Structure 1
């Protein structure tokens, strides 16, 4: 039976702990933000980080193939994947695809409005960036001149310098497509070409480890250096003062050369584990390095003698993680042990909460004794094969216990201090050939149960690190290698399983065997859900057994995997068992119904799986993948129809997070550094909603209490006039300070009461709005007035105050229009209340105004009825939610 559409339960979200790979990074300076950005490649995607904090700011869309090289100019980021070259805008969207190469593109170089690309067949194409047309094509014979490096010399118009793996250099004029000059080289392949701060001077890195500082105008070598670490992988010139050259090597070392003294200034030993890509920030003493070990580091050159120290870094696993587990009950942190030997914690909230617990090492006493005779690698412990963590007592002592490859002793780790613990747990009197294989920490956090390949199961006290006993007679719990250990939630029972096909139940305190179950095949791994008491055992015959620890019986048996089960995890409620197998499938089994409810296929074999304690994310680790994949649980976002899947169900492939291909290609539409589109909020969202004015409450809330406020603020003693100021400018009363205009002395200061032109600006605007049918102007005038000014304006609407009866009708119409539009809801009610308080007697004698007030009253009642219904519905919903939580 054919499957349908991948997983119906999980959806790819993102990848944690993936920062960069072997592709050299590029630096960009954003003029608007005034900040440097670092662009790295992580397979098929681009990651963009700000250099100040090394925080990720953008993740690009995925390409169809892995990215082979990067380049960037002021507006766009260019990436080559296979034989295609893509242009990214805003570090995310692909806006142009350049097609013309038939072989894999190896080099990219932005060149003004052009882009230069070179592939492995010797074809060099100059593209028009915006139109995507081919500007110039150059063909080279790889047997005589294999292009291995490109550079545009500063101030050299339309010219590019090409380096070859044969050692020769050529200077070309791209506008005329002519070869201008050929440099003989230094009998070694050119790996890097880098422009120096000095005009005409370039740095040339060789495959033999030699560095040449050459003047290309006169074809003269100024100085040369030699490194013993293999080919030069990158060159970077410091531009903020001291003449320093940083050179990377394949072994992970960085050399800092003093160009003035022509000698080695400092070394950064073991800066990375693989070939280093280095670059200096312009006019800053900061060196950025990245490598294929999944690490980005920022070094500051402030040490004496030109040395550098690590300023900040982002570092994940340099080898694929094998074992993962959620740490804590909030589901925000994931512990991961990788083949590189490190134990790290990744946060699902933000990258600044990531932790690196470091690499395990031998005991400090032994290290102090043999440090002189042991190398850097010999002091390190092998990779972690299994670990267990508990948060109950992690503030008091170590809360993580780990087993290492090929070692019997287990190590403790402290999560809060981010270091390896003080204890090495080793059973007394054991053979040297035994290896610790399984470990579990009790729910109380006081004890650790460790199973070994010789059949021993030992118990240790985590506070002191002392051995507290072992299970079984003659110090043997099983006759075969222990494959899994677990303890229940109350420390009553201990469960062990081994290659002798037995699942044994032990009393935790007395360490006496209580019962056992004979398995049909040797177990591969075991997982206990403490809250429900369900124990899952994966067997070597690809079947799964679910054991109820209370009845000590097998209650469920699942078959469906076509390979060994690498890891298992339970959902927080214990309803689902999620398994990851060697057949590249992740299956979800429903325990109550005893059926398979979800299954999807992925491109890389999963080796680790962990479900969040909150049930929102599923974390998986994969072969040949340095990151941890997060999958969202769709059942938390909406209803998911789960149905039992048949035994012959064929799963469909599900795309890994961040691994999707592009659906369409677009054209260049805008510049990246263009002005950001400012969001403008709508004046009104809907006719059934109301919008407040957003004015301070002091502007409208106390309009009905102005008389009381004035009476309380009245001075007890009469004011005393002070000394007259020598000079002052008269101002107009109001919220906005304005100077009054000088009066004409010839004009009479006695105003004629018969002049109708003495009405206020608000009254005139009100009359004009009544005639035009729009009251936007008088509303804005009232909003600009203070409380006292509003009271004066409304008092002046009556005939006794200099107004007219028509102004009553105009004001009522204005309030009606405000309520009809739904805007300024609070101001409309405040102004109407003050208006009725001032002119209620006059309004009762005006028939036209009373008719308008009756219509306004019906609108007020209808509006409040809708709001009251919405308030009551929200309050009922809130009360129900609170009662459900209680």
Structure 2
């Protein structure tokens, strides 16, 4: 199978904490810590309660997880009609097959697992052997199971609640109905064991909480909450008689069991229905989760016995609207969501995630009003601009809001909404509400000025430090239509504004003077400027993209390929790629130097925003109806990718969004697809294969061959001023011979003879040197690999002495010198060890040059060697010149 995208591979998803699946808590005896398991789609996260830090992410499941349960050994998950057992919080170890409908409930029961599906089938599994122990069929029309629990001390028994309001106690060993309870006329939504034996807490859909004694079939206490059905029930086990219940409205109630009354309630603990609630054993802590993508830890340490928020981990509760990398290191991503919040997600670790708060007209009043009934909440952020250059001095983020003329500032360093709200005096007298809105913003590279474009055609400049108005573009306004694009160049010299009528206007930033106009072929939808290259990408309403050089004010590229509205665009850091996302559910990559489409892939949900990392390693994207921020890895950074242009009728292949962690199957698919993609490119070639077309080097240290021609100069420079003193050697030490490999000198000679002889002893008459002998054998066998290996093992001084010994005066012969020339010719013809061959040849000609000129026997060998050397160098020189010319062209194309 071929991978849908040549460039981008799904890396992981950010911003997921939990979903509507109830959480599960576990206690680790060895770590002495409690852990929380939450579902995030096809995987689950494990957090430690002590720091609420993520400690594990499970492998990806085949479908979205629908049920979670856990015991001291496994985490049990259900996906559709399949049940899995996950070991070590990561690996799917066991699978239980047998259900034909979606599994709704799971309950670990000692060495057994109980599962219930929506068709009314209850299965009891042996966890280890994965065999069915029991199967019970319930009629959904008479008894549809909605809650399941095991009463403490009730051996082999489970307690079931139904949608019809009835409850039943079953013995799963004997497969018998022990007792049936008539109920209280409302659907059972939750069942929990209380701290008292025989007493169960039963939550109903009408808001009642019943504490019922199973042994006597008698109600002990009745409570009722006034804000919706009971979703979950828990009991404190740290010595306080308190019951905690959650509701669909997001409130949490604390009930005093001793005084039989409501103790207190936590108003709007979550923005949505409480799906998971658990009090930790023997600790004054409570963990809650909800469908608003948040996980909270509460501590009961208030004076009245109430709870306060201790730790929090959350993401967007509504899909993001815009995403942008922040800073130059590519470690942080700013994301604005439909929940009116602005958040920062870290690509390194989730512990660096932070929230910049929720947009509000009056922050103090919003805190008093709460999350759900906040009348001061502002509409969601549509577009924002961020600049990190002056983040420590003043607000450095400027944002526009849906249907608002008002624009807000934010501080990334302080993680809060800024003190300025920009709205010109001309708009305050506007009679029609929301008739004029801020449509686009930009911040100068120095971080001092912010520009705001409006639907009325006005463009205002503000000082971000003081909040003062610093002028407007145009008289009386810049455009006669909605401003859909606004960009400042990197030097604060020019401003480019784009109107909905398709006219680009170029302004002098300081003097507000109009420099010129460019008419586009269609109406403008949005613009993005790459400041380093002065290239402006303009998305048009006919689904095409034009690239405008703001220096020359010319359209230099025009891309056609999208079949729906272009939602967002982003440049690569060097300006060579433009990545565009459209509502046609595709993400396309355009190569600006070649002016062609080089990559495209399709998604199930359209991307609403994209942003490329300043380091070029990740592409971030957000999608319709999804609360996550997805990272795509750039394959060109760690593998060879052929960016050949795609045809005009190319159909992008569908790819799945990345999960919170890559599964083994995904990795194997990526590797297989990369291998198949490589079939279209040139195959990998080893050094032996490359030598047929190019040349290879020996990879030896340069000290072994680079200074062969200058050994005499080096020896003169390093000559000691005083003769070396011979140390007194112990009689039991054997003398050694100097060299790269230590060897013992076993020859016994007198000291007088050693002093009388020269440093380089001449060989005996008629004895050839070792190199000469190897050359003679190699010429007979026509194989010079042994000679080359011998020379590679020697140092520069030894090589110099061996080559000198090839002369007839030093014990060699003319034939041996001819063999050496043939040896060099063979190396050059093999295209291997290119630098060694030339170094050895240069030393040979330097030492024996005069002798070779007087020997006619060696003239033919010298001519062949000269021809071989010229041909090899001519071929390499042509390739080098071609490469230098290509590099010079590419460098000039980007300037």
Does TM, scored on the shorter chain, surpass 0.5?
A: yes
Deviation at 1:363, TM superposition (A): 4.0
Deviation at 1:96, TM superposition (A): 1.5
Evaluate the alpha carbon distance shift between residue 661 and residue 390 of structure 1 in structure 2; reply closer, same or farther with a 3 A threshold: closer
Deviation at 1:467, TM superposition (A): 1.6
Q: Is the 8 A contact 1:4 1:652 kept in 2?
A: no
- Give the structure 2 partner of residue 149 of structure 1: 147
- Give the structure 2 partner of residue 89 of structure 1: 87
Matched, 1:841 2:730: yes
For residue 452 of structure 1, the aligned residue among 432, 451, 454 is 454
Evaluate the alpha carbon distance shift between residue 499 and residue 309 of structure 1 in structure 2; reply closer, same or farther with a 3 A threshold: same
Does the residue aligned with 2:351 lie in a helix, a strand or coil? helix
Q: Is the 8 A contact 2:11 2:662 kept in 1?
A: no
Distance, in Å, in 2 between the alignment partners of 1:262 and 1:119 is 37
Residue by residue over 1:660-680, the C-alpha shift from the partner in whole angstroms, topping out at 9 and shown as x without a partner, is 997889xxxxxxxxxxxxxxx
Distance, in Å, in 1 between the alignment partners of 2:52 and 2:793 is 51
Distance, in Å, in 2 between the alignment partners of 1:839 and 1:290 is 83
Evaluate the alpha carbon distance shift between residue 371 and residue 115 of structure 1 in structure 2; reply closer, same or farther with a 3 A threshold: closer
Q: How does 1:439-478 map to 2 (within 5 A)?
A: 439-474=441-476, 476-478=477-479
- Give the structure 2 partner of residue 251 of structure 1: 249
For residue 409 of structure 2, the aligned residue among 412, 416, 421 is 412
Residue by residue over 1:497-546, the C-alpha shift from the partner in whole angstroms, topping out at 9 and shown as x without a partner, is 12112111111112122111112221111100001100001111110000
Evaluate the alpha carbon distance shift between residue 614 and residue 79 of structure 1 in structure 2; reply closer, same or farther with a 3 A threshold: same
Does the residue aligned with 2:253 lie in a helix, a strand or coil? strand
Residue by residue over 1:780-809, the C-alpha shift from the partner in whole angstroms, topping out at 9 and shown as x without a partner, is xxxxxxxxxxxxxxxxxxxxxxxxxxxxxx
Unpaired runs of 5+ residues, structure 2, are 667-725, 746-788, 797-895
Q: Is the 8 A contact 1:63 1:660 kept in 2?
A: no
Deviation at 1:389, TM superposition (A): 0.6
Q: Is the 8 A contact 1:843 1:850 kept in 2?
A: no
Q: How does 1:117-516 map to 2 (within 5 A)?
A: 117-276=115-274, 277-363=276-362, 367=365, 376-430=373-427, 431=430, 432=433, 433-474=435-476, 476-516=477-517
Deviation at 1:649, TM superposition (A): 0.7
For residue 108 of structure 1, the aligned residue among 106, 109, 131 is 106
Deviation at 1:379, TM superposition (A): 1.0
Deviation at 1:208, TM superposition (A): 0.6
Distance, in Å, in 2 between the alignment partners of 1:397 and 1:536 is 30
Evaluate the alpha carbon distance shift between residue 341 and residue 858 of structure 1 in structure 2; reply closer, same or farther with a 3 A threshold: same
Distance, in Å, in 2 between the alignment partners of 1:157 and 1:496 is 76
Does the residue aligned with 2:425 lie in a helix, a strand or coil? coil
Deviation at 1:855, TM superposition (A): 14
Does the residue aligned with 1:274 lie in a helix, a strand or coil? coil
Q: How does 1:770-809 map to 2 (within 5 A)?
A: none
Deviation at 1:841, TM superposition (A): 3.0
Unpaired runs of 5+ residues, structure 1, are 666-836, 870-886
Deviation at 1:858, TM superposition (A): 3.0
Distance, in Å, in 2 between the alignment partners of 1:208 and 1:443 is 58
Distance, in Å, in 1 between the alignment partners of 2:665 and 2:126 is 21
Distance, in Å, in 2 between the alignment partners of 1:101 and 1:68 is 14
Q: Is the 8 A contact 2:12 2:661 kept in 1?
A: no
- Give the structure 1 partner of residue 17 of structure 2: 19
Give the TM-score normalised by the residue count of structure 1.
Answer: 0.74
Distance, in Å, in 2 between the alignment partners of 1:371 and 1:579 is 42
Does the residue aligned with 1:362 lie in a helix, a strand or coil? coil
- Give the structure 1 partner of residue 525 of structure 2: 524
Distance, in Å, in 1 between the alignment partners of 2:794 and 2:292 is 60
For residue 64 of structure 1, the aligned residue among 62, 65, 73 is 62
Distance, in Å, in 2 between the alignment partners of 1:87 and 1:867 is 63
Residue by residue over 1:739-778, the C-alpha shift from the partner in whole angstroms, topping out at 9 and shown as x without a partner, is xxxxxxxxxxxxxxxxxxxxxxxxxxxxxxxxxxxxxxxx
Distance, in Å, in 2 between the alignment partners of 1:371 and 1:159 is 48
Does the residue aligned with 2:239 lie in a helix, a strand or coil? coil
Distance, in Å, in 2 between the alignment partners of 1:867 and 1:54 is 62
- Give the structure 1 partner of residue 615 of structure 2: 614
Aligned length in residues: 686
Distance, in Å, in 1 between the alignment partners of 2:648 and 2:371 is 56
Does the residue aligned with 1:236 lie in a helix, a strand or coil? strand
Distance, in Å, in 1 between the alignment partners of 2:533 and 2:362 is 39
Distance, in Å, in 2 between the alignment partners of 1:155 and 1:122 is 26
Evaluate the alpha carbon distance shift between residue 218 and residue 519 of structure 1 in structure 2; reply closer, same or farther with a 3 A threshold: same
Q: Is the 8 A contact 2:453 2:483 kept in 1?
A: yes
Distance, in Å, in 2 between the alignment partners of 1:312 and 1:868 is 67
Distance, in Å, in 2 between the alignment partners of 1:575 and 1:435 is 34
Distance, in Å, in 2 between the alignment partners of 1:516 and 1:183 is 81
Q: Is the 8 A contact 1:63 1:661 kept in 2?
A: no
Does the residue aligned with 1:429 lie in a helix, a strand or coil? helix
Q: Is the 8 A contact 2:13 2:660 kept in 1?
A: no
Residue by residue over 1:793-847, the C-alpha shift from the partner in whole angstroms, topping out at 9 and shown as x without a partner, is xxxxxxxxxxxxxxxxxxxxxxxxxxxxxxxxxxxxxxxxxxxx99953415xxx
- Give the structure 2 partner of residue 732 of structure 1: none
Deviation at 1:34, TM superposition (A): 2.1
Evaluate the alpha carbon distance shift between residue 467 and residue 275 of structure 1 in structure 2; reply closer, same or farther with a 3 A threshold: same
Deviation at 1:248, TM superposition (A): 0.7
Distance, in Å, in 2 between the alignment partners of 1:855 and 1:632 is 47
Evaluate the alpha carbon distance shift between residue 34 and residue 443 of structure 1 in structure 2; reply closer, same or farther with a 3 A threshold: same
Evaluate the alpha carbon distance shift between residue 156 and residue 549 of structure 1 in structure 2; reply closer, same or farther with a 3 A threshold: same
Evaluate the alpha carbon distance shift between residue 83 and residue 471 of structure 1 in structure 2; reply closer, same or farther with a 3 A threshold: same
Residue by residue over 1:143-196, the C-alpha shift from the partner in whole angstroms, topping out at 9 and shown as x without a partner, is 111100000111111110001111111000000000001111111110001111
Residue by residue over 1:636-660, the C-alpha shift from the partner in whole angstroms, topping out at 9 and shown as x without a partner, is 1132221111111111122211189
Distance, in Å, in 2 between the alignment partners of 1:374 and 1:593 is 51
Matched, 1:80 2:78: yes
For residue 858 of structure 1, the aligned residue among 734, 737, 743 is 743
- Give the structure 1 partner of residue 821 of structure 2: none
Distance, in Å, in 2 between the alignment partners of 1:374 and 1:114 is 42
- Tell me how large the CA RMSD over aligned residues is: 2.7
Deviation at 1:376, TM superposition (A): 3.4
Distance, in Å, in 2 between the alignment partners of 1:138 and 1:281 is 33
- Give the structure 2 partner of residue 693 of structure 1: none
Q: Is the 8 A contact 1:64 1:661 kept in 2?
A: no
